[in-house]
Structure formats: structure tokens, C-alpha cells
């Protein structure tokens, strides 16, 4: 890579024309510098592949199907991507969607709350769990991988244990009959565009992706998220509140998990105790496919969304093509491996030339 900075001899360079300097960066270089480029090409390839193999995949109703899968996944992938850019993991994010849905179900069907107070309490509880995750990681200075792995198992146990103890089964049902359920359903689980029936979660997903992109690229918080993940010491040295930023990211992640849990619970009117278990890895895969580095400091929200779209297309595409759905795990593994290899190249070129 050519050096873009050249110390000229003796006299300081004149402060002049910025434009001719900017134009020297080639279009290709700019494109390659985008973290989501690889994911975009991958999404095109996967989309075209399934459009060829399965006829129903090409239709609008088919699209409503795969965007539905991608949307709840995508909401989580975006917040998990923010957390990963900030240099941390949350393995409890999947189980947290189940915990939130179950809590909302128990609050409303067993303990007599109506829907909206139940939702408020559920979101507050989830935020508290996320804050605790972040606080523990910051105070113990342990890897977030291990701390949230513990949270994951605790939540998994609580989900199954409480649900069985209280309802006698492994599911909580009857949310549709709770007062206030109708208005909540409009916001969280309705459909639009008859007769294809796109899910409202698609709108949430797009809105959250736009908001996250705005935060990352245009706000101080976004700058700080990149910095705490890229080099926490350097960030601290210039006055970035590293701990507060990271704790906030953990809190956002679990709050988004509550949103997804509520969506799922309201959509089906019931929720399983095992909901969300294992999905934490799918979120991370989507984020990594979207260009997030596992080591932090680099990535994008749009990329994570494209990653989620790839996963959504593959899950539904495999089903529509009439293949056994177990193949989706093979697919996830392969795209993850490919993405990690591509990201490695990106990192070495971005961090290269260190002398």
C-alpha cells in the first residue's frame, strides 16, 4: 500500500485545496475498506442460488418468509455487532430472548398483569441483566466470553426450572387473551402488505439498523465504540469513558433481546422454555459474516444485517428447496469459516505497514 502521508522537505506544506488530495483515493480502495462488501457479495450469491433452486423463494410471499426469519435474527445481529465492535461478546443474548418472552408470559398469564405493564417490566428486567453482565465483565476484568457463558447457563436453567415449577409444562401459553394484547400485537407482531403478509419485525429490523448505523458513523458514542474495541488503553488515555461505553453496549444487547422475546411471545401467543438457546452463535455468525472482527474495533451494523439476511435466506431457501433443514448448520459453518478468512485479510491490510 502506498504511503498517503509524506513529510515534505523543510517548509510546511500550504494549507490548500483538499479536493485534489481526496480524489487520489481510488474508488476500489474505498470500496474494499467497507466492512460489509464481502457480505453483500455473499448475499447476492446465496439469493441467486436459492432463487434458481426453489421457485417459491422468488415470490413476494417467499420473500416475506425469509425476511421474517432474517428480521428477528437481524435485530440481534446488529446489537451483537455493536458489542463486538466494542470488543466484547454476549453469549447470553439467545437465552435472554427466551427469558424475556417467558417472563412476559408469566407476568401476564400467571400473575395477573395486563400486557403493557408486563412489557415495561420485562424490558426493565432485561436491561438490568445486561447491565449486570457488563458490570461484572468490567469489574472482574475477565473475558466477557466466560462471564456471559455463565449468564447463559444460569438463564437456561432458570428458564426451564421456573417454567416447569410454575406452569407444570415447558411452555407458557395464553398471551393472546391478556388485556392489552391486541394493541401490543399491532406494534410487535402484526403483518402488513396483504396477501404476502410481511412481518412488522421487518420494519423494526430496518429501523434498528439505520439507528445503529447513525450512531456508529456519526455520533461521539459511535467513535467511542470503535475506540474501546480497537484499543481500550488508547481510548482511556484520551478520556473516553471505556467502562461506561461497554456496560451500555451490554445493556443495549439484552434490551434488544427482550424486544425479540416479546415479538416471538406475542406472535405465537405462547413461548417455549427452550426459546433462543443456541441462537447466540447465529447472531455472532451474522455479525462476523457482516465484517465484524472477533478482536473488536471494526465492523458495521449494515454488514451484520446483511449477514442476518444471508442466514435467513439460507434457512428458508433450504426448506423451500425441499432439502433436510439439518443442512443449515453445515451452511452456517461454511459461511462463518469463509467470512473469518476474508476478515483476516481485511485486518492485516488495515493494520499493515506497522513499523
Q: How far apart are CA 39 and CA 307, in angstroms?
A: 6
Give the residue with the Cβ less far from another protein, 110 or 351. Answer: 351
For residues 232 to 271, the per-residue mask of contacts with another protein, x marking binding by CB under 8 A and - elsewhere, is -xxx-xxxx-------------------------------
- Give the orientation angle of helix 115-140 with respect to helix 181-188, to 10 degrees: 50
User: Should residue 13 be labelled a site residue for another protein when binding is judged by CB under 8 A?
Assistant: yes
For another protein, which residue of 33, 58, 139, 164 counts as binding (CB under 8 A)? 33
On whether the CB atoms of residues 133 and 89 are closer than 8 A, the answer is no
Q: Of residues 219, 281, 333, 337, which one binds another protein by CB under 8 A?
A: 219
Residue 304, all three cell numbers = 451484520
The 59-78 contact track toward another protein, x by CB under 8 A, reads --------------------
Q: What is the DSSP letter of 12?
A: P
Angstrom distance (rounded) from CA 161 to CA 144: 25
Q: Least distance to another protein from the beta carbon of 351, Å? A: 4
DSSP-assigned letters across all residues of 105-156: HIIIIIS---HHHHHHHHHHHHHHHHHHHHHHHHHH---HHHHHHHHHHHHH
Number of Cβ within 10 Å of residue 283's Cβ equals 35
Number of residues in contact with another protein under rule CB under 8 A: 48
Does 21 engage in binding with another protein (CB under 8 A)? yes
How far is 288 from 20, CA to CA, in rounded Å?
35
Where do we find the cell 412489557? Answer: 119
Grid cell listed for 27: 474508488
DSSP, res 113: -
Q: Does 298 bind another protein (CB under 8 A)?
A: yes
Residue in 61, 218, 281, 329 binding another protein, rule: CB under 8 A: 218
- Residue 14 found at the interface with another protein (CB under 8 A): yes
| Binding window for another protein (CB under 8 A); candidates: 76-84, 259-267, 293-301, 305-313 | 293-301
d(CA 124, CA 107): 13
Interaction of residue 191 with another protein, rule CB under 8 A:
no
Task: By CB under 8 A, tell whether 177 contacts another protein.
Answer: no
Comparing CB distances to another protein, the nearer of 172 and 228 is 228
Q: Which stretch binds another protein (CB under 8 A): 52-60, 98-106, 315-323, 343-351?
A: 343-351
198: helix, strand or coil: strand
Nearer to another protein, 164 or 218 (CB): 218
| 15 sits near another protein (criterion: CB under 8 A) | yes
Cell of 309: 439476511
Q: Which is nearer to another protein, 330 or 353 (CB)?
A: 353
Q: Which residue has the cell 471505556?
A: 242
Interface residues with another protein (CB under 8 A) are: 1, 3-8, 11-15, 18, 21-22, 24-25, 30, 33, 214, 218-220, 222-224, 226-227, 230-231, 233-235, 237-240, 293, 297-298, 347, 349-355
Amino acid at each position: 500500500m502506498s504511503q498517503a502521508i509524506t513529510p515534505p522537505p523543510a517548509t510546511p506544506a500550504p494549507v490548500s485545496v483538499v479536493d485534489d488530495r481526496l480524489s487520489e483515493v481510488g474508488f476500489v480502495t474505498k470500496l474494499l475498506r467497507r466492512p460489509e462488501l464481502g457480505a453483500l457479495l455473499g448475499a447476492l450469491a446465496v439469493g441467486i442460488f436459492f432463487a434458481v433452486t426453489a421457485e417459491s423463494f422468488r415470490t413476494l410471499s417467499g420473500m416475506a418468509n425469509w425476511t421474517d426469519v432474517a428480521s428477528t435474527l437481524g435485530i440481534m445481529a446488529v446489537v451483537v455487532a455493536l458489542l463486538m465492535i466494542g470488543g466484547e461478546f454476549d453469549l447470553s443474548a439467545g437465552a435472554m430472548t427466551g427469558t424475556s418472552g417467558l417472563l412476559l408470559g408469566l407476568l401476564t398469564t400467571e400473575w395477573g398483569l395486563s400486557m403493557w405493564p408486563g412489557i415495561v417490566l420485562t424490558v426493565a428486567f432485561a436491561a438490568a441483566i445486561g447491565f449486570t453482565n457488563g458490570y461484572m465483565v468490567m469489574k472482574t476484568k475477565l473475558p466477557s466470553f466466560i462471564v456471559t457463558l455463565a449468564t447463559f447457563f444460569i438463564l437456561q436453567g432458570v428458564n426451564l426450572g421456573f417454567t416447569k415449577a410454575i406452569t407444570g409444562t415447558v411452555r407458557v401459553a395464553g398471551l393472546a387473551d391478556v388485556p392489552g394484547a391486541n394493541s401490543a400485537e399491532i406494534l410487535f407482531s402484526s403483518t402488513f402488505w396483504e396477501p404476502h403478509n410481511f412481518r412488522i419485525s421487518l420494519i423494526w429490523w430496518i429501523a434498528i439498523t439505520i439507528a445503529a448505523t447513525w450512531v456508529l458513523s456519526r455520533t461521539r458514542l459511535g467513535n467511542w465504540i470503535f475506540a474501546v474495541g480497537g484499543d481500550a488503553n488508547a481510548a482511556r488515555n484520551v478520556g473516553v469513558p471505556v467502562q461506561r461505553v461497554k456496560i451500555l453496549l451490554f445493556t443495549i444487547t439484552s434490551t434488544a433481546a427482550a424486544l425479540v422475546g416479546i415479538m416471538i411471545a406475542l406472535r405465537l401467543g405462547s413461548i417455549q422454555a427452550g426459546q433462543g438457546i443456541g441462537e447466540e452463535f447465529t447472531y455472532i455468525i451474522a455479525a462476523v459474516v457482516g465484517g465484524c472482527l472477533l478482536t473488536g474495533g471494526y465492523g458495521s451494523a449494515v454488514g451484520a444485517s446483511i449477514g442476518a439476511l444471508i442466514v435467513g435466506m439460507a434457512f428458508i431457501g433450504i426448506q423451500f428447496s425441499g432439502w433436510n433443514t439439518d443442512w443449515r448448520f453445515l451452511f452456517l459453518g461454511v459461511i462463518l469459516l469463509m467470512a473469518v478468512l476474508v476478515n483476516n485479510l481485511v485486518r492485516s491490510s488495515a493494520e499493515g505497514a506497522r513499523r
